Structure 1
Amino acid sequence: MQARFASAVRSLFLWCMVLTLAACGGGGGSEGVPPGEPVGRVETFTIASARNGATYEISVYLPASYATGTRTYPVIYAVEGDARHGYFNASDTRFDAFARVMQRRGTQAILVGIGGVYRRNTDFLLPGAERYHAFIVQELVARIQSQYRVDPSRRALTGLSHGGYFVLAALALEATAGTIRFSHFLSTEASTGGGDAGVDTLEQRLAQAGRPVPTTLFLAGGSQGTTNGSLVLSLYGRLRAANYAGMTVEHMGFAASHVGTDVPAFEEALGRYFP
């Protein structure tokens, strides 16, 4: 009963966001949803992980077409889905902002927002990232695939800052294991990860994997104020030079702040990979 009530509340909230955009033209440079445009649905549930003992609130955005057809959909997994960075307004979470962009663009994909922002310094950085990654690919992905019509061959992972570092860590972990679970890794304003578990450690793991890495890595960096843009650009250059078999590496810089890069980078990724 509580789960259904929470789902209804989130759906109503998303509907209100869409109406607000349609009335005022949106925020942060985004346009509103045309009047009469069908609105997607948001569902929520919690999942307790056997991998690290944490419990996560999960939010799922389904495009309007999901309810009327039988097709399968790509899935985009967004870590730190409950982070409130003031995207379009102070109340928006990362999940809310991304769902709004997908709604406006008419993106035919499912968005999965993973809560747990309070665990970012544990889950996103090594060694905790190994257990968090296991939770996502072994528990959460299995739940999503059993509950929704998804295309397992089109699965993306997106993160910002420490979350962007986690996306890189996930790529390195999967390359080392020899099983790539995501077709697209979307890393925005990735942090160094800090200490001995920095970006160089992830590059070493990639180099030592010694096998093809059939996936696409999209690196995004900002340039206004204090950002990780130079780090991201340098990493891009090194990964391109390494020329890992099967891996496509792309980069784009944005005239935006550290957090301000997140939404435009996500929208750019949608246009490239999920038009």
Structure 2
Amino acid sequence: MSRFLTRTTLSVILTLMINPTFAGADSPSTATANTPTANSWPEVTLDNTRQFIIDSRQTGRSYRILVAVPDSLVPEGGFPVVYSLDGNTTFPLWKVMAERLQQRGQARGALVVGITAAEGDKAQLVARAEDYTPPAANMDKTGDQSGSRQGGADRFLAFIEQELKPQIEQHFAINRHQQTLFGHSYGGLFTLHTLFTHPESFQRYVAASPSIWWNERYVLSERNGFADRLAALAQPVTLMLTVGSEEQTAPASMKAERVQMLQKRAQVDNVKQLFSDLQQTEAAESDGKLQLGLHIFPGENHMSAMPEAINRAVEFVYGGKP
């Protein structure tokens, strides 16, 4: 399928997310002297969206869960569902793009579930450093400079499987055979960890700009036994890998230590190598149980590649090619 949102459209969406306007409302520049102060303006809400808080026994954290409910009849078998990590950033894009696809008549809607730590921006950074990184016996060379605790990916996956999914399935008609996990950066690392260790958890995986470099590429060691786990699956799984072409290219203004880090992390090389390795081994030997796709976005860096990844992935959710 062809891309249905251009980069210009994406820019407009991002602008609206940051600076929303309301039809028929005066902008601040044209407001009269009687206009209330900005603090009294109503907060923005998203149509057909719900939110709730889960206090997780598995991780000991509270999570804000955002749910975009399709404005359409439930299809036979239930709605496809997307679980999107870093929901504070990724959820609005997923919601808007899924709705546009539905409005074009190309799909009947998907339930989008955004997951994010509930305690604010700083706490979210701490939480994702722990929740999205695999449990490794040695954490001496993770390459993470935040100083945050790491290695809690199994606890976070248990939270999704044992606490979040039952809540979603209790209140919404979802199709358990059409579940997607989306993660970017550390979220992409978690996506690969889940695929390699518990591929039965989802049917579609989108690892956008995954941090394969973490802990000297530890996640690649989790492919041990992956072929056997694939063989045991009742239905195939599909992995979409994405990365921006400029993710390991340093701009001229970048400091020397950041240039060295960027080159060492080798985002593009790692993603391309993983795709090639999976093609030659697990995909070739899995009797169709693993399907793969790779997208390298020209001119995009680590952050700008994220909306491009969602743009590609939204059609994939409805059964398109990875």
Same fold (TM over 0.5): yes
CA contact (8 A) 1:40 1:63 kept: no
Q: Indicate if the aligned counterparts of 1:59 and 1:113 stay in contact, CA closer than 8 A.
A: yes
Quote the Cα distance in structure 1 between the aligned partners of 2:83 and 2:192: 14
Name 1:126's counterpart in structure 2: 134
Asked whether 1:218 is paired with 2:240, we answer yes
Distance 2:13 2:93 in 1: 11
Distance in 2 of aligned mates of 1:70 and 1:230 = 40
Supply the distance in 1 between the matched residues of 2:213 and 2:273 (Cα, whole angstroms): 15
Deviations 1:161-187 (A, max 9, x none): 110010000112214xxxx02110110
Q: What's 1:63 paired with?
A: 70
Q: Offset at 1:148? A: 0.6
User: 1:101 aligns to what?
Assistant: 97
Aligned counterpart, 1:19: none
Supply the distance in 2 between the matched residues of 1:268 and 1:195 (Cα, whole angstroms).
29
Distance 1:181 1:210, change over 3 A: closer
Q: Secondary structure in 2 aligned to 1:172?
A: helix
- CA-to-aligned-CA distance 1:104-153 (integer Å, 9 cap, x gap): 22251010000123311100001210110111011111110001111111
Change (3 A) 1:70 1:104: closer
Check the 8 A contact 1:165/1:193 in 2, yes or no. Answer: no
Letter in 2 for 1:217: L
Letter in 2 for 1:63: P
SS of the counterpart of 1:139? Answer: helix
Cα 1:225–1:248 change in 2 (3 A) is closer
Distance 1:251 1:26, change over 3 A: closer
1:229 Cα deviation from its structure 2 partner: 2.1
Opposite residue 154 of structure 2, the aligned amino acid is E
CA distance, structure 2, for counterparts of residue 57 and residue 150 of structure 1: 20
Name the residue aligned to 2:314. Answer: 270
Question: Separation in 1 of the partners of 2:64 and 2:10?
Answer: 26
CA contact (8 A) 1:125 1:165 kept: yes
Which of 180, 183, 190 is equivalent to 2:203?
183
Correspondences of 1:241-252 after superposition (within 5 Å): 241-244=280-283, 245=286, 246-252=289-295
Contact kept, 8 Å, 2:177 with 2:203, in 1: the verdict is yes
1:199 CA displacement: 2.7
C-alpha deviations, 1:190-211, integer Å up to 9, x for none? 0125226623222224256473
- Out of 165, 173, 176, the position equivalent to 1:141 is 165
Distance 1:225 1:131 in 2: 30
Matches within 5 A, 1:194-209: 194-195=214-215, 198-207=218-227, 209=229
Asked if residue 114 in structure 1 is aligned to residue 138 in structure 2, the reply is no
SS of the aligned residue for 2:133 comes to: coil
Is it true that 1:171 corresponds to 2:195 in the alignment?
yes
Quote the sequence identity (%): 25
* 8 Å CA contact 1:41, 1:63 repeated in 2: yes
- Distance apart, 1:265 and its partner CA: 1.6
The answer to whether 1:52 aligns with 2:82 is no
CA distance in 1 between counterparts of 2:155 and 2:196 reads 14
Q: Between Structure 1 and Structure 2, whose CA radius of gyration is higher?
A: 2
Kindly tell me the number of residue pairs found equivalent between the two proteins. Answer: 230
Structure 1 distance, partners of 2:197, 2:296, is 26
Structure 1 unaligned regions, length at least 5: 1-24, 33-38, 83-92
Closer/same/farther in 2, CA of residues 146 and 129 from structure 1, 3 Å limit: same
Which ranges of structure 2 fall in alignment gaps of 5 or more residues?
1-7, 17-45, 118-123, 136-151, 249-265
- Distance of 2:217 and 2:242 partners within structure 1: 21
Does structure 2 retain, via aligned residues, the 8 Å contact 1:130–1:173?
A: no
Match of 1:150 among 174, 182, 189: 174
Query: Considering only aligned residues, what root-mean-square deviation do their CA atoms show, in Å?
Result: 2.6
Of 267, 273, 277, the residue aligned with 1:238 is 277
- Closer/same/farther in 2, CA of residues 146 and 211 from structure 1, 3 Å limit: same
